[in-house]
Protein backbone atom coordinates (compact mmCIF):
# COMPACT_ATOMS: atom_id res chain seq x y z
CA UNK A 1 0.00 0.00 0.00
CA UNK A 2 0.98 3.63 -0.47
CA UNK A 3 1.32 6.06 2.45
CA UNK A 4 0.50 9.75 1.90
CA UNK A 5 1.47 12.84 3.93
CA UNK A 6 0.08 16.28 3.06
CA UNK A 7 1.82 19.53 4.01
CA UNK A 8 1.83 23.24 3.15
CA UNK A 9 -1.47 24.38 4.60
CA UNK A 10 -1.91 27.42 6.81
CA UNK A 11 -3.54 30.82 7.20
CA UNK A 12 -3.45 33.19 4.23
CA UNK A 13 -5.18 36.46 3.31
CA UNK A 14 -7.65 36.64 0.41
CA UNK A 15 -5.74 36.99 -2.85
CA UNK A 16 -2.73 35.17 -1.45
CA UNK A 17 -1.08 31.92 -2.51
CA UNK A 18 -0.13 28.55 -1.03
CA UNK A 19 1.50 25.42 -2.39
CA UNK A 20 0.36 22.10 -0.97
CA UNK A 21 2.49 18.97 -1.19
CA UNK A 22 1.62 15.28 -0.87
CA UNK A 23 4.57 12.96 -0.31
CA UNK A 24 4.02 9.29 -1.18
CA UNK A 25 5.95 6.24 -0.07
CA UNK A 26 5.59 2.47 0.02
CA UNK A 27 4.59 1.76 -3.60
CA UNK A 28 5.14 2.76 -7.23
CA UNK A 29 4.02 6.39 -7.36
CA UNK A 30 4.10 6.89 -11.13
CA UNK A 31 1.24 4.49 -11.92
CA UNK A 32 -1.33 6.06 -9.57
CA UNK A 33 -4.01 8.54 -10.51
CA UNK A 34 -3.61 11.37 -7.98
CA UNK A 35 -6.37 13.69 -6.77
CA UNK A 36 -6.78 16.61 -4.38
CA UNK A 37 -10.08 16.76 -2.47
CA UNK A 38 -11.28 19.26 0.11
CA UNK A 39 -13.91 19.29 2.84
CA UNK A 40 -15.33 22.24 4.77
CA UNK A 41 -17.25 21.80 8.06
CA UNK A 42 -20.77 20.53 7.40
CA UNK A 43 -20.04 20.00 3.70
CA UNK A 44 -19.41 16.90 1.61
CA UNK A 45 -15.91 16.16 0.41
CA UNK A 46 -15.45 17.51 -3.12
CA UNK A 47 -12.94 16.93 -5.89
CA UNK A 48 -10.62 19.90 -6.46
CA UNK A 49 -8.13 18.69 -9.06
CA UNK A 50 -6.93 15.40 -10.58
CA UNK A 51 -3.88 14.28 -12.50
CA UNK A 52 -3.71 10.82 -14.04
CA UNK A 53 -0.72 8.53 -14.36
CA UNK A 54 -0.49 9.75 -17.97
CA UNK A 55 -0.43 13.42 -16.97
CA UNK A 56 -3.97 14.45 -17.94
CA UNK A 57 -5.58 17.00 -15.59
CA UNK A 58 -9.03 18.21 -14.68
CA UNK A 59 -10.31 20.80 -12.20
CA UNK A 60 -13.45 21.80 -10.38
CA UNK A 61 -15.08 24.81 -12.04
CA UNK A 62 -14.61 26.83 -8.85
CA UNK A 63 -10.79 26.62 -9.04
CA UNK A 64 -10.12 26.71 -12.80
CA UNK A 65 -7.59 29.39 -13.66
CA UNK A 66 -6.45 29.71 -10.03
CA UNK A 67 -5.14 26.26 -9.02
CA UNK A 68 -2.57 24.07 -10.78
CA UNK A 69 -2.02 20.38 -10.04
CA UNK A 70 1.31 18.75 -10.89
CA UNK A 71 3.41 15.73 -9.98
CA UNK A 72 7.11 14.96 -9.74
CA UNK A 73 7.46 11.21 -10.14
CA UNK A 74 11.19 11.32 -9.39
CA UNK A 75 10.37 12.75 -5.94
CA UNK A 76 7.17 10.73 -5.39
CA UNK A 77 5.36 14.01 -4.70
CA UNK A 78 2.06 15.61 -5.76
CA UNK A 79 1.58 19.40 -5.67
CA UNK A 80 -1.29 21.86 -5.69
CA UNK A 81 -0.36 25.48 -6.43
CA UNK A 82 -3.19 27.71 -5.20
CA UNK A 83 -3.30 31.36 -6.31
CA UNK A 84 -5.86 34.15 -5.85
CA UNK A 85 -7.27 32.38 -2.81
CA UNK A 86 -10.80 33.17 -1.65
CA UNK A 87 -12.51 32.66 1.74
CA UNK A 88 -14.63 29.92 0.17
CA UNK A 89 -11.44 27.91 -0.43
CA UNK A 90 -11.18 27.37 3.34
CA UNK A 91 -11.24 23.62 4.00
CA UNK A 92 -9.17 20.60 4.93
CA UNK A 93 -7.36 19.43 1.80
CA UNK A 94 -6.75 15.70 1.27
CA UNK A 95 -4.54 13.77 -1.13
CA UNK A 96 -5.80 10.55 -2.75
CA UNK A 97 -3.88 7.90 -4.69
CA UNK A 98 -5.82 5.33 -6.70
CA UNK A 99 -5.33 2.64 -9.29
CA UNK A 100 -7.88 2.71 -12.10
CA UNK A 101 -9.54 -0.50 -10.83
CA UNK A 102 -9.93 0.71 -7.24
CA UNK A 103 -13.12 2.29 -5.90
CA UNK A 104 -11.59 4.36 -3.07
CA UNK A 105 -7.80 4.30 -3.07
CA UNK A 106 -5.56 5.59 -0.27
CA UNK A 107 -5.87 8.85 1.71
CA UNK A 108 -3.56 11.15 3.60
CA UNK A 109 -4.39 12.82 6.93
CA UNK A 110 -5.26 16.21 5.42
CA UNK A 111 -3.90 19.73 5.82
CA UNK A 112 -5.92 22.79 6.90
CA UNK A 113 -6.17 25.80 4.60
CA UNK A 114 -7.78 28.95 6.03
CA UNK A 115 -8.33 32.06 3.89
CA UNK A 116 -9.24 35.06 6.04
CA UNK A 117 -8.42 38.70 6.71
Determine the pLDDT at residue 24: 96
Confidence of residue 27 (pLDDT cuts 50, 70, 90): confident
Confidence of residue 90 (pLDDT cuts 50, 70, 90): very high
Q: Whole-angstrom distance between the N-terminal and C-terminal Cα of the chain?
A: 40
DSSP 66: T
Q: How many C-alpha atoms does 55 have within 13 Å on its Cβ side?
A: 2
Confidence of residue 83 (pLDDT cuts 50, 70, 90): very high
DSSP 112: E
Amino acid sequence: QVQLVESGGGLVQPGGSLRLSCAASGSIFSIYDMTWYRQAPGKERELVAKITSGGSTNYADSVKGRFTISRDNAKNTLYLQMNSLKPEDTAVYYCNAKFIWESRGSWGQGTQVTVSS
